[in-house]
């Protein structure tokens, strides 16, 4: 027993990724970087000067065109019709930080565009994960004509078929792998960078990241151009705070677009005027500070996740969308 206890106390052995010294020296000279920074970049697969510059700059201009996502065009067209015809849109999220943040983002955009959008987050204890009979019941009760999923739905072929049988269309936005050997849902649009047919340059967006790309595409369609009109541009910039929270908490790799969205989203979070987020930062003793991923992962994220783990994440969603300074704390 003593031997087993001693073995348990032994620290794990570190396995350090090696970097080629010649490549490190070449990158340090070519990009004018300290040797330590160059070594870290090489270890992380950013050994070429151009790739290293993109990684360090993390510029908004390096985000990929949302139109490259599968189903984006069809989703934008269906949403435009829903807004034009005054249809109720049910935004069907999930109870973790990723699902709640993406739900808040899309609900707020649709309402900004003049749509009647209502959120729905399943109860972890009574409903379980993703779509089910509860989803159909909620859509029918809300008289929704369109359901938009966030962070789920790629495997929900049966439930989405049931919604269709009741005259309710579904747009799926998701980042999970499609079911192996299973049928994909017959939906108005499937927006997921991991579909077999996808040619999107980056597979590792979180669910809120995919929702953000849909929001961007919708804003382009509403603006009639790739350049988004000023009010919608302001919304997207502000909404990156939601994406940063989700990107860090869903533990997707902080490379490519995720690094860009996290970096600029943290800046948006620092300066947010949203009452709920400001109250949350104050509770975490983070007001007025330069934020980092560690703050999100260990202070903000667990508080948002707690609501969903105890049952209903509706309180977390209410906080994220709160506008009333008196209601948010």
| Model confidence pLDDT, tens digit, residues 103-123 | 999 999 999 999 999 999 998
What is the CATH number that goes with domain 66-320?
A: 3.90.1640.30
User: Dihedral through CA 325, CA 301, CA 209, CA 83, nearest 10?
Assistant: -30
Scored b (16 or more CB within 10 A) or e, 59-93 reads eeeebbebeebbbbeebbebbeebbeeebbbbbbb
What proportion of the chain, given as a percentage, has pLDDT over 70? 96
Please give the average per-residue pLDDT across 31-37, as a whole number.
Answer: 94
Distances (CA, A) of 96 to 124, 150, 218, 266, 328: 9, 11, 25, 19, 20
Is pTM beyond 0.85? Reply is yes
DSSP structure class, residue 90: E
What proportion of the chain, given as a percentage, has pLDDT over 90? 86
Confidence band, pLDDT 50/70/90 cuts, at residue 5? low
What is the arrangement of strands in the sheet containing 146-149, beginning at the earlier edge strand?
A: 116-120, 88-92, 146-149, 169-173, 189-191
| 157 pLDDT more than 80 | yes
Query: What is the C-alpha to C-alpha distance for residues 228 and 237, in angstroms, rounded to an integer?
Result: 11
Domain residue ranges in the chain:
16-48, 66-320
Q: Which of 255, 249, 228 is nearest to 303 (CA)?
A: 249
Higher pLDDT, 271 or 11: 271
Q: Which of 246, 247, 259 is nearest to 320 (CA)?
A: 246
Query: What is the C-alpha to C-alpha distance for residues 107 and 109, in angstroms, rounded to an integer?
Result: 6
Residue range 208-229, pLDDT digits in tens: 999 999 999 999 999 999 999 9
Q: Residue 1: what pLDDT?
A: 47
Q: Residue 326: what pLDDT?
A: 66
Is the Cβ–Cβ distance between 104 and 94 less than 8 Å? no
Q: Give SS3 for 189.
A: strand
Q: Residue 248: what pLDDT?
A: 98
DSSP structure class, residue 145: S
Confidence band, pLDDT 50/70/90 cuts, at residue 11? confident
Query: Which residues are paired to 91 by β-bridges?
Result: 119, 148
């Amino acid at each position: 027993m003593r031997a087993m206890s001693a073995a348990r106390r032994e620290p794990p052995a570190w396995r350090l990724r090696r970097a080629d010294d010649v490549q490190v020296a070449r990158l340090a000279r070519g990009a004018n970087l300290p040797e330590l920074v160059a070594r870290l970049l090489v270890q992380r697969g950013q050994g070429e000067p151009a790739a290293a510059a993109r990684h360090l700059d993390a510029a908004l201009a390096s985000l990929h065109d949302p139109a490259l996502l599968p189903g984006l065009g069809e989703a934008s067209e269906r949403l435009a019709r829903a807004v034009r015809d005054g249809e109720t849109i049910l935004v069907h999220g999930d109870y973790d930080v990723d699902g709640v943040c993406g739900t808040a983002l899309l609900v707020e955009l649709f309402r900004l565009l003049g749509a009647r959008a209502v959120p729905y987050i399943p109860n972890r204890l009574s409903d379980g994960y993703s779509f089910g009979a509860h989803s159909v019941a909620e859509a029918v009760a809300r008289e929704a004509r369109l359901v938009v999923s966030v962070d789920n739905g790629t495997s929900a072929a049966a439930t989405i078929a049931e919604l269709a049988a009741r005259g309710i269309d579904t747009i799926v936005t998701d980042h999970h792998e499609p079911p192996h050997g299973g049928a994909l849902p017959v939906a108005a649009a499937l927006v997921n960078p991991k579909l077999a047919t996808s040619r999107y340059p980056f597979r590792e967006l979180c669910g809120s990241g995919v929702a953000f790309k849909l929001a961007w595409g919708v804003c382009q369609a509403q603006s009639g151009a790739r350049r988004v009109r000023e009010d919608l541009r302001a919304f997207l910039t502000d909404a990156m705070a939601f994406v940063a929270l989700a990107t860090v908490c869903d533990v997707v790799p902080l490379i490519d677009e995720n690094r860009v969205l996290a970096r600029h989203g943290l800046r948006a979070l620092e300066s947010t005027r949203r009452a709920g987020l400001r109250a949350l930062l104050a509770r975490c003793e983070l007001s007025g500070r330069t934020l980092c991923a560690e703050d999100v992962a260990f202070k903000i994220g667990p508080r948002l996740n707690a609501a969903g783990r105890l049952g209903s994440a509706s309180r977390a969603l209410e906080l994220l969308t709160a506008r009333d300074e008196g209601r948010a704390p």
